[in-house]
Amino acid sequence: MTIALYARVSNTDEIETSSVPDQIAEGRRFAQQRWPGEDIEEYEEAVSARDIASRPVFCRLLNDCRDRKVSKIVVRDQDRLARGKTEEVLTCLRILEQCNVSVWQYRSGQEIHCKDAVSNLMTTLLASVATFERDMTAARTKDKMIEMRKKGQVTGGTVPQGYRIAELDGKKTFLHDASKANQVRKVFEEAANSKSLASAWRLAEEFGLWSCKQSVQNALKNRVYLGEWHLPDGTWLKDHHEGIVDADTFSRAQELLGLAWSPRRRTVEREYLLQGLVKCEHCGRFMSPHHVKKRNGLRVFYYECTRKSRTCPVKRLPASDFEEWAWNQLNGLCQNPQVLHNALDHYEKSCAAGNSVEKARLQDLERQVRESKGKLEALKAYLATLLAQGTTPAASLNTELLKYERERDSRATELAMLRSNLRANSPVDPEAFLRALRHVLADGNASSRRKRAVIAALVKEIVVSASDITFELVAFTSGGASAWEGARRKNEWFAQPSRMAPRPGLEPGTL
């Protein structure tokens, strides 16, 4: 039994540059003073606590608590453990109480629990205050940025080609980029004289400004190049900065025939089967999934060590080859009946606790879907009123309408998936579970989603070193039958160059 130190920050920056090391140091000092001689294990991650399912390190901590490997959890405050809705916070604490795991905060030196009415009230109040503080901080930041934009200050975002951001008289503004401003002016003149988008695009591509016709068309309509600034109310502030093109050239550039259709942006969606399970033995950190795009359009998917140290011998592994090899090795391991029975025990233990978290998430999603539908209906009614009055709606309203529609569709899809995946509290049929598990392992055409579920039920951790790979299966003790060393060395991944495997010695940006 060990003491778990859990540290978290809400952004995705490097953990070394955040407050995580300070949280670990203070938590270790508190644990050593209160429970001297106890083993201590660290759990670190940089992700928002808004949703438990998106926190792989915290989910791993809950699994260790269910496996009776952790006796106590030490955090800085309650909001480090969970900062979402109140129901989710209470659910986490009840799960830990069922596992006989106590939660301590080292700032106050007190235990966090909900065993009686008073402690339940205090936990609820602290969760509500944390949520209120986060919402107020976001609202104040947004209001401050809106006020700055009203005053003509640049608050961030994409800098248009031909400009650079500089600070003058205490505020940020746009200044000409000497190397690109003249090129942008020539692209506008070409569009104004030739009335051809293709001609302007070829010139822009020659200068290295924009890579597609859609980008050139959007740039030719951008009034920032006239020296104007877009205010939050939809109007434009003139003489905000020095313009690159004059009004006559800009007006004649609008007369060209644009694209008849707007290309849809392609999103990269890939299911990483081993996400949150692969750990670098040298650095002691979990490897995160990444992808890069080569000049020929080929995308390379891989797992990379989060420390990103030059001295790390592991650094990265190709995702496709590594996942296929791990799936085949796992299929061979699961021919042992003991492994399958241990997976069944692990599934039954986590089934009841998982249902409570999923139900809380289901209620939250249902509320979000209702809010999205309400916003969409209100915006449609407003647009209908404007059209009835003969007023042309602003382009920002159409953009906002599309955003609400995408938000509604994505949340409705997630809600449908969560409802289909919600497991009942009825007992699991062992024979049906083992038969289905063997069928998925033997099926070479199983979907990535089903493979991901099987791997999460069987594998606790995959430790990668410079010489070997070790699988640690669930429901085993450390040092026994849990450890299985892979016969394939890490360096052999790059022995046979393939389209999906990056070559050694190259950084991701140079692939």
173 residue type, one letter: T
pLDDT tens digits for 187-197? 999 999 988 88
Q: How far apart are CA 248 and CA 457, in angstroms?
A: 66
Q: What's the pTM value of the predicted model, to 2 decimals?
A: 0.39
Domain boundaries 163-253, CATH class: alpha beta
CB 301 within 8 A of CB 420: no
Radius of gyration of the chain (CA): 28
Q: What pLDDT sits at residue 136? A: 83
The pLDDT > 90 percentage for the chain reads 4
Q: Higher confidence at residue 212 or residue 115?
A: 212
**Helices H, strands E: what count in the chain?**
14, 16
For CA atoms 315, 321, 324, 329, give the dihedral sign.
Answer: negative
Q: What are phi and psi of 471, to 5 degrees?
A: -95, 135
Tens of pLDDT, residues 9-59 = 876 554 545 678 888 888 888 988 888 888 888 888 887 776 676 778 888
Q: Which residues contact 222 (CB under 8 A, 6 or more apart)?
A: 160
Instruction: Return the higher-pLDDT residue of 142 and 185.
Output: 185
Position with higher pLDDT, 259 vs 467? 467
Listed residue (392, 461, 464) closest to 67, CA to CA:
461
pLDDT band at 262 (very low <50, low <70, confident <90, very high): low
pLDDT score for 350: 56
Q: Is the pLDDT of residue 399 over 50?
A: yes
Residue 353: its pLDDT value, please? 46
Q: Which CATH superfamily is domain 2-145 in?
A: Resolvase, N-terminal catalytic domain (3.40.50.1390)
How far does the chain reach from its first CA to its final CA, in angstroms? 45
Q: How far apart, in whole angstroms, are the C-alpha atoms of residue 133 and residue 494?
A: 49
| Cβ–Cβ under 8 Å, residues 473 and 456 | no
C-beta of residue 94 within 8 angstroms of C-beta of residue 83: no
Domain ranges of the chain: 2-145, 163-253, 278-510
pLDDT at 501 over 80: no
Half-sphere exposure of residue 13: CA atoms within 13 angstroms, side-chain side:
8
